[in-house]
Amino acid sequence: MTAFAFGDPITAGIDDLAHFTDGGRLTRLYLTPPHRQAAERVALWMREAGMVARIDATGSVVGRYEGLTPDAPALLLGSHIDTVRDAGRFDGNLGVLIALAVVQNLHRAGKRLPFALEVLAFGDEEGVRYPSTLGGSRAIAGRFDPAILDEKDTAGITRRRALEDFGCDPARIGAEARDPGKVLGYIEAHIEQGPVLEAEGLPVAVVTAINGASRGNVTITGIAGHAGTVPMTLRRDAVAAAAEMILAVERRALAEPDLVATVGRLILQSPATNTIAGQATFSVDLRAPSDAARLAALADIKSAIAAIAKARGVQAEASFGYDAPAARCDAALTDALAGAVARQGVPVRPLPSGAGHDGMALSGVFPIAMLFVRCKGGISHNPAEYASPADIDVAARVLIDFVEHFRAN
């Protein structure tokens, strides 16, 4: 029974890859034996689809389907096959299988295009094993920092050693950098990992940007005191101040479309039921597709915190050390992708990506675009992660149509 010509075989491939795991629940960390097994399976599928496949110097699987002329510039399609611990099976793997389906479809028809297609299965997207991440896509973009080869995992194994054990030659990483003149763009399909498409009843969305992020901490110093003896009017309560500041962060985010702000951590010094807190520290995570909107919101949040601190007679120290700019999707590629969505009879829904992706490492060197696929309940990084064969089928048809209509210049 094949209800969905692309959705069903892609789902079968996802189930197949889910067998390559460290333990019962899906856990496939970078450069581990299950990663190697999954990489070899993907390379086999690439060869069956008429591609020349290899595992590159960072452990990415690279498959190439030549165009009408040899050595033509290539359109890159792909995603990642590493996972978090206790992962879902669709995150990353779905994009690799959709990319493979695009080439399988051409190969079955005996068709070549005026440009080459490359399918990439990155292995270092989730950043679970080593402190830094996106090593595979950074290498392709010519942005790999050799200093990270000395990073160690929790067992003390360096990235260099893990690469060598995987069969990779770290000395060749620099040679993986692509000539931007030979790359037409990078397109990735990925589950949304959020609830918007489900809420709106849509199978896919066209990504506008991978959000930039600011992260920092705010430490409030008040005066600790006895919960029974200090009158309300004489208190310098660090927790009450933190509560007011946290609500100010939420209010500012609500006032800006596409901006999200989260206080995910609140730490009290010596917390006790009968003590007025003397010190509280909370984190702030701020993300938006527009860097200008994000930085303006951050400035407003800082001044709101200062004003609340002043009114309450406490000290507040805000330090925001982390700033990652947004990766805008390429306008021309995104328009072309939107055209392919419309030709499938699906309304075009632009949506920013709140999570990070390999496109961040490639953006600025190559034009990038992304297609999001609806996932059940917006759940991701969890075994309950699910995308339906019907939605996967739509996404595969969009990418096939996109590639068929793509003009190299």
Q: Which residues bind Zn ion (CB under 5 A)?
A: 91-92
Q: Which is nearer to Zn ion, 133 or 214 (CB)?
A: 133
Q: Which is nearer to Zn ion, 221 or 380 (CB)?
A: 380
The CA-based dihedral angle spanning residues 292, 294, 300, 301, taken in that order and rounded to the nearest 10 degrees:
-160
Residues 6+ apart with CB under 8 A from 247: none
Provide the minimum distance between the beta carbon of 320 and Zn ion in the complex, in angstroms, as a whole number: 26
Provide the minimum distance between the beta carbon of 125 and Zn ion in the complex, in angstroms, as a whole number: 6
d(CA 163, CA 170) in angstroms, rounded, equals 7
Q: Residue 43 has which token pair? A: 């390379």
Q: Which is nearer to Zn ion, 81 or 141 (CB)?
A: 81
Q: Which is nearer to Zn ion, 87 or 337 (CB)?
A: 87
d(CA 314, CA 240) in angstroms, rounded, equals 10
Cβ 366 vs Cβ 312: under 8 Å: no
Which residue in the block uniquely carries the two structure tokens 């949040």? 301
Provide the minimum distance between the beta carbon of 91 and Zn ion in the complex, in angstroms, as a whole number: 4
Round the CA-based radius of gyration of the chain to a whole number and report it: 24
- Residue 7's Cβ-count burial label (10 Å; 0-12, 13-18, 19+) is buried
Q: Which is nearer to Zn ion, 277 or 368 (CB)?
A: 368
Provide the minimum distance between the beta carbon of 355 and Zn ion in the complex, in angstroms, as a whole number: 7
Q: First CA to last CA across the chain, in angstroms? A: 41
The H or E element that residue 368 is part of is strand 368-373
Bridge partners, 319 (sequence order): 217
Provide the minimum distance between the beta carbon of 190 and Zn ion in the complex, in angstroms, as a whole number: 6
Q: Which is nearer to Zn ion, 15 or 404 (CB)?
A: 15
Provide the minimum distance between the beta carbon of 218 and Zn ion in the complex, in angstroms, as a whole number: 30
DSSP 8-state assignment for residue 109: T
DSSP 8-state assignment for residue 211: P
Provide the minimum distance between the beta carbon of 93 and Zn ion in the complex, in angstroms, as a whole number: 9
- The DSSP-derived string for 77-106 is EEEE----TT--SSTTHHHHHHHHHHHHHH
Cβ 391 vs Cβ 181: under 8 Å: no
Cβ 248 vs Cβ 308: under 8 Å: yes
Provide the minimum distance between the beta carbon of 358 and Zn ion in the complex, in angstroms, as a whole number: 8
Q: Which is nearer to Zn ion, 358 or 393 (CB)?
A: 358
Provide the minimum distance between the beta carbon of 196 and Zn ion in the complex, in angstroms, as a whole number: 17
Report the SS3 class of residue 5: coil
d(CA 259, CA 290) in angstroms, rounded, equals 8
Which residue in the block uniquely carries the two structure tokens 């059940």? 376
Q: Which is nearer to Zn ion, 10 or 241 (CB)?
A: 10
Nearest to 220 by CA among 266, 263, 262, 252: 266
Q: Which is nearer to Zn ion, 67 or 92 (CB)?
A: 92
d(CA 150, CA 152) in angstroms, rounded, equals 6
Provide the minimum distance between the beta carbon of 385 and Zn ion in the complex, in angstroms, as a whole number: 10
Per-residue burial over 306-330, b if 16 or more Cβ lie within 10 Å, else e, is: eebbeebebebebeeeeebbbbbbb
Q: Which is nearer to Zn ion, 36 or 190 (CB)?
A: 190
